[in-house]
Homo-oligomer: A and B are copies of this chain.
Amino acid sequence: MCLLCVQAQVLYDFTAEPGNNELTVKEGETITITNQNIGGGWVEAKNSKGEVGLVPEDYIEVRAIGSVPDLSFFDAFAPTAASTDSALLQASNGNDPWSVWNADATGNAADSWAAKPEGTETAKAASNWNSSAQGHFQAYQGPGAADDEEWDDEWDDVKPGGYTESEAGEGGPVNLGPVWLYPETQLDCVVADPKKGSKMYGLKSYIEYQITPSTTNRPVNHRYKHFDWLYERLLEKYGSAVPIPSLPDKQVTGRFEEEFIKMRMERLQGWMTRMCRHPIISNSEVFQLFLTYKDEKDWKMGKRKAEKDETVGVMIFSTIEPEAPDLDPIEVEQKCEQFSRFTRAMDDGVKDLLTVGQEHWKRCTGPLPKEYQRIGKAFQNLSSVFTSSGYQGEATLTDALTAAGKTYEEIATMVAEQPRKDLHFLMETNNEYKGLLGCFPDTIGVHKAAIEKYKEGDKLVAAGKITPQEKTTMAKRVSTMSYALQAEMNHFHSNRIYDYNRVMQLYLEQQVAFYETIAEKLKQAHARFTTM
């Protein structure tokens, strides 16, 4: 990609300040970047009419999001009738085709794929991934410690409804299949303290968040665009194996409003927590750089290095070597299918809950409290009418009616405020999962494509176009990817179970408190009435 002359899409309307050499652009418009070295968050761009001017870089997007997974990994290594290249030949020559990426085996073999001036850096990154990825794999054994080989067969024995007996913590062994190796201490971080900063003599403002990782306990500062940069790197590098959820939405209006900043911070925290929880991501060089860079120079160097990392897309699988027997690609396909069905069904379920939740939110913050308020007002109104009766001896009633009316006004306020206390978290969690689930089709697509390639390979062997050994190599690759996918599935499921338990606990806890408080208030209101 030519960095000096690139197309970009406008994300938000931007109106030029007269006399500032700025360019007015509209959301959705495509512009050409003519100078990216303006600095201070600005770029020079040309629109379709040929007008040139400055545009805030935050308002435009250079990269296309949600692109089709790059299958070059398979194009390059899985033989088809049309394509055979040197790498395939290398594999078919009897060498272990994984060795070329396996830094552990060859020391710096990764260099041969990292045809970059910063080859050593790339190798280091690959080696880092390798050391963690290989180590991360292990077949999880339940407390009963079943035979090593059994988990594969056990999988087929899983029947819905048969869970209770083999549930974790409820006795009996659980064989989940491949899981990532989780660190002993889980990384965590706190996103806090949003501060307004400015550049270009105050012409351009931004919000900087403080991120403090649990490892160093030393805060670093990042703007939203840095998070976005991190997201891009993680997506590029790990997206084929690990679904990388999108960041909270970009937004331009109200970006500096307290409410928005608070919400964005909360969502960035959620995103970071999810990334920290992932053993592959949290241990990755780029993520560690983001969390623990020492100074501006350190950050810039690390940034440049990460941008030049070429072990991206499906190449990531080349850094994985599971210490386990190969999987049957047909079984893998079935599991892939099952997981695909599951994520689609969950996506529907989550979206359904979000729709219901949104409607409930609207009702709880709109018509419902208004109604309780009106009930409260009606009681108080009746109370003041009664006070005007001129009849002696009804102060107890009128006071009680006023109190009851005020209670319903309090309930109105409670009802309106409640969604922020409970529904909010239920919605946020489901929103997060909606985003996460949206990443799976791509991840699963990579695996399905690999399996298709492998199936073609069968025909190619029959036609004598590749050797059976080459087919075995393909099976090995599919197997490796499948180990990764299954580890990711297990990671997803265990996180999901934790997250939903947690958010439901929180939701119901708050709901209980809400209804108990209302009951208590009404009890007090009730006690004031008397029929002697």
Contact = CB atoms under 8 A, between A and B. Distances in A.
Interface in A447-504: 489-490, 493-494, 496-498, 500-502, 504
A378 interface: yes
Contact of A519 (B379, B493, B516, B531): B516
A349 B378 contact: yes
A392 to B, nearest CB: 5
A529 B504 contact: yes
A501 B391 contact: no
Contact of A393 (B388, B497, B505, B509): B497
A160 to B, nearest CB: 5
A198 B496 CA distance: 68
Contacts of A342: 385, 388-390
Given A350-B382, A390-B338, A163 B395 contact: yes
A274 to B, nearest CB: 16
A387 B175 CA distance: 17
A379 B357 CA distance: 11
Contact of A529 (B335, B367, B382, B501): B501
B522 A400 contact: no
A363 B352 contact: no
Interface in A123-178: 155, 158, 160-161, 163-164, 166-170, 174-176
Contacts of A401: 500, 504
6 contacts: A155-B390, A356-B371, A359-B371, A391-B494, A508-B525, A515-B519
Total copies of this chain within the assembly: 2
Contacts of A335: 390
Given A389-B342, A392-B166, A378 B363 contact: no
A391 B490 contact: yes
A508 B404 contact: yes
B512 A385 contact: no
A371 B360 contact: yes
A261 interface: no
A220 interface: no
Contacts of A62: none
A526 interface: yes
Q: Which residue, of A167, A338, A375, A382, has the highest number of chain B Cβ atoms within 10 A?
A: A382
Q: Which residue, of A352, A388, A494, A504, has the highest number of chain B Cβ atoms within 10 A?
A: A504
B353 A395 contact: no
A404 B496 CA distance: 17
A325 to B, nearest CB: 21
A364 to B, nearest CB: 9
Nearest to A504: B529
A30 interface: no
A226 interface: no
A120 interface: no
Contact of A531 (B174, B345, B371, B505): B505
A530 to B, nearest CB: 6
A391 B493 contact: yes
A532 B498 CA distance: 9
Contacts of A381: 349, 352-353
Contacts of A389: 342, 493
Interface string A373-385: 0110011011001
Contacts of A168: 392-393
A382 to B, nearest CB: 4
Nearest to A163: B395
Contact of A493 (B385, B394, B526): B394
Nearest to A394: B497
Contact of A504 (B170, B359, B404, B489): B404
Contact of A385 (B346, B356, B490): B346
Given A394-B493, A400-B504, 4 more contacts: A169-B393, A176-B391, A353-B381, A391-B497
A420 interface: no
A393 B501 contact: no
B356 A375 contact: yes
Q: Which residue, of A167, A335, A391, A522, has the highest number of chain B Cβ atoms within 10 A?
A: A391
Contacts of A360: 371, 375
Q: Which residue, of A174, A375, A393, has the highest number of chain B Cβ atoms within 10 A?
A: A393
A523 interface: yes
